Structure 1
């Protein structure tokens, strides 16, 4: 009798890891974490579970690989902008880093501080862009759960703060505030998108919210009513960048000893 051969060595692999991760990411974008199953992924790919288990041990590892890809794109795009001075990521127009103009005066021309602040801004904008495209991603980029993706982003945000000359405590507080802001705003915006009426376009959705605010009690909600038209004209990226710039400005002032 011929000796038995290793099942793993003879198993036919019908899909590459890249194909598996790309398809899994598309399912995550459409259906979220709960909507991703390995059987559903296999059906989408048109093969059996064997080709998936050849590359990943299970769903958790697969989600981690998808996160690694997207976080890597964000960090690489931010680095590419920094080194090349362009808005394009590495070979993929979808990885462009949005670049709304800085709305605050940093109050310094110190090249080290300016470069560090600029890099912080690029990283945050690139990460937010990926989270905006992939609404399930914010929940996978957190520090409390110890996910490696969150730790990678934290590391890259922390380095510019150290370069500014901030104290360790300032670096800790500043980096966690920045990461919390990016994840929090992206989560909030994706939650809002999940409850909108798909039959309405963006302008109609804004009109609906504005009309609700304008119907509020004029005494109790005087300030909110005054914000209704501002909300109608707002853009999500501009809103995100404005808050980000306030955080970056505060860190720069700390670095300059103005806190």
Structure 2
């Protein structure tokens, strides 16, 4: 019995939860959520599935831990800002870039909005909403609106990126779509035809931040 215990202790020392989560992030980036299995993870870590179960109960727990790790690092890289407005913009960029680099994270944030990863973002936004001077009764709504916009648009941006084959040039694709918009029926799509040129020239991150500015302008107008 003592021999088995010593073996378990050696296994725990050699394979930490952090190592497992880091390997899971790499596997998710390479293979997606369907490719994340304990067998594949064990192969990547040169161990057995049982050693992983020592630290992680199941795939759902592993996905949550991996998402939380990515978001925690993204939030840790957000520098302090002079104004709450600029701080919120930097938080937004951090989330946008994290989901762009790890599209599976966006799926997890949408799937489990009450878990720690989402709460990390909500907390950082909420503190800045308070710093803006938003009254207590409106703080939840303001922070929630910002959180929803940041996550949803970031997820959509990452999804759009996956729709194009690696060989497809983004500028050429937008040029083609812009030309199609211009050819739409003038009575049915007057607005879409008007903004067709903006589709061709737009920058995804700049448009994303412009939306943040619109929400913040609305919050400021309500104060």
- State the TM-score, normalizing by the size of structure 2: 0.86
CA–CA distance in 2 between the matches of 1:199 and 1:251? Answer: 42
Gaps of 5+ in 2: none
Shift of 1:245: 1.0
Residue 176 of structure 1: aligned partner: 144
Residue 202 of structure 1: aligned partner: 170
1:228 corresponds to which of 175, 196, 200:
196
Residue 8 of structure 1: aligned partner: 8
Note closer, same or farther for the CA distance 1:249–1:12 as it changes in structure 2 (3 Å cut). closer
Shift of 1:144: 6.4
Gaps of 5+ in 1: 86-113
CA–CA distance in 2 between the matches of 1:203 and 1:165? Answer: 41
Residue 214 of structure 2: aligned partner: 246
Residue 36 of structure 2: aligned partner: 36
Residue 98 of structure 2: aligned partner: 130
CA–CA distance in 2 between the matches of 1:46 and 1:228? Answer: 52
Note closer, same or farther for the CA distance 1:22–1:212 as it changes in structure 2 (3 Å cut). farther
Runs of 4+, deviation exceeding 6 Å:
none
CA RMSD of aligned residues (A): 2.4
Higher normalized helix content (fraction of residues): 2
CA–CA distance in 2 between the matches of 1:71 and 1:25? Answer: 12
Shift of 1:145: 4.3
Number of equivalences:
222
Note closer, same or farther for the CA distance 1:42–1:215 as it changes in structure 2 (3 Å cut). farther
1:71 to 2:71 alignment: yes
Residue 98 of structure 1: aligned partner: none
Aligned residue runs from structure 1 range 182-193, under 5 A:
182-193=150-161
What SS class does the counterpart of residue 5 from structure 1 fall into? helix
Contact 2:178–2:197, Cα closer than 8 Å, also in 1 = yes
Shift of 1:52: 2.2
